[in-house]
Amino acid sequence: MSPSRVPESGKRGYIVPIGGRIGDHRILSRFTQLCGGSQARIAIIPTASSDPDTGAHYEQSFRALGVRSTVTLPIESRADCEKPDILAAIEAADGVFLTGGTQLRLSTTLGGTPVARILRRRNAAGQHVAGTSAGAAFLSEHMIAFGDEGPTPRQGMVTLAPGLGLTNRILVDQHFRQRDRLGRLLMALSLNPFAVGIGLDEDTAAFIDGDDVAEIHGTGAITLVDPSQVEYSSADHTPPNEPVTLIGVRLHILTQGATYNLHTREAGVPQEVAERR
């Protein structure tokens, strides 16, 4: 499930993980704008959720923002992921929105199906894909399936699973501050310090563009964990439940308007702050 190739002349669409509990629609409004404003065709995948009204709820939110074409895709089983009308709706969408719920519902239902393949191919060709909470966790190649709370990484506290694979540069965690998840994100990164950890507070999103530059939007912050300078991790020999040694982690707290380049691993302050200096 690795990212599809971006066509020669094109640019990958945005990848937008959101930390859950979206507030005043600032985030959805930015997503709508990217997808073409009132002309946008937005498809909603409510598979993660057990609440049958989830799709309708987001359709209403997007319609309140002026979007005329919204559709909820009733994907409940792996067989649904083969249905021509569902595949056609994804193909035609300018933007796809994955709701919250359980991320393993997404991976067990969509994993290895035509729906997952089309999402990767269309995103590589310019379609924008957002996900909130479970939907955010699922976007990347490596997904945090579940784990324990607490700020200290402890051996075995986090369970990874393969995700959708739109990108593999990031490892996402959500409801970050609200559920005390720094430890499990650090633990996940300590297993193989190659990806960038993105801990998303609620009502906060990273808008990652086709050049892999993320811009932060929302009322909370993003805790960005860069393990590229990690000198040492004890994850290969720490016994179960014991704390893991991790030396050389770089950490950034980024808020509204700040940016982060996933290639150069450089953070940028919001424009208005930079100008005031």
Query: Other C-beta atoms within 10 Å of 16: how many?
Result: 28
Catalytic choice (202, 215, 217, 233): 202
- Nearer to its own copies by Cβ, of 219 and 234: the residue is 234
- Nearer to its own copies by Cβ, of 159 and 255: the residue is 159
Task: Indicate if 59 belongs to the active site.
Answer: no
- Nearer to its own copies by Cβ, of 37 and 243: the residue is 243
Helix (H) or strand (E) holding 103: helix 103-110
- Nearer to its own copies by Cβ, of 195 and 205: the residue is 195
Cα separation, 199 vs 196, in Å, equals: 10
Task: Indicate if 61 belongs to the active site.
Answer: no
Task: Indicate if 242 belongs to the active site.
Answer: no
Cα separation, 143 vs 171, in Å, equals: 6
Catalytic choice (107, 133, 140, 190): 133
CB of 103 to its own copies, least distance (A): 8
Cα separation, 220 vs 6, in Å, equals: 32
- Nearer to its own copies by Cβ, of 20 and 95: the residue is 20
- From the list 116, 115, 165, the residue with the least C-alpha distance to 140 is 165
Interacting residue ranges for its own copies, rule: CB under 8 A = 1-3, 5, 77-79, 102, 104-105, 107-109, 111-112, 116, 141-142, 145, 156, 159-163, 165, 168, 190-195, 227-228, 230-237
CB of 5 to its own copies, least distance (A): 8
- Burial label, 143 (beta-carbon count in 10 A; 0-12, 13-18, 19+): buried
Catalytic choice (128, 141, 142, 175): 175
Helix orientation angle between 84-92 and 114-124, rounded to the nearest 10 degrees:
10
Cα separation, 89 vs 92, in Å, equals: 5
- Nearer to its own copies by Cβ, of 38 and 77: the residue is 77
Cα separation, 138 vs 104, in Å, equals: 8
Q: Are 109 and 74 in contact (CB under 8 A)?
A: no
Provide DSSP, 221-257: -EEEEE-TT--EE-TTTPPTTSBPPEE--EEEEE-TT
Strands 69-72 vs 41-45: parallel, antiparallel or unpaired: parallel
Catalytic residue list: 133, 175, 202
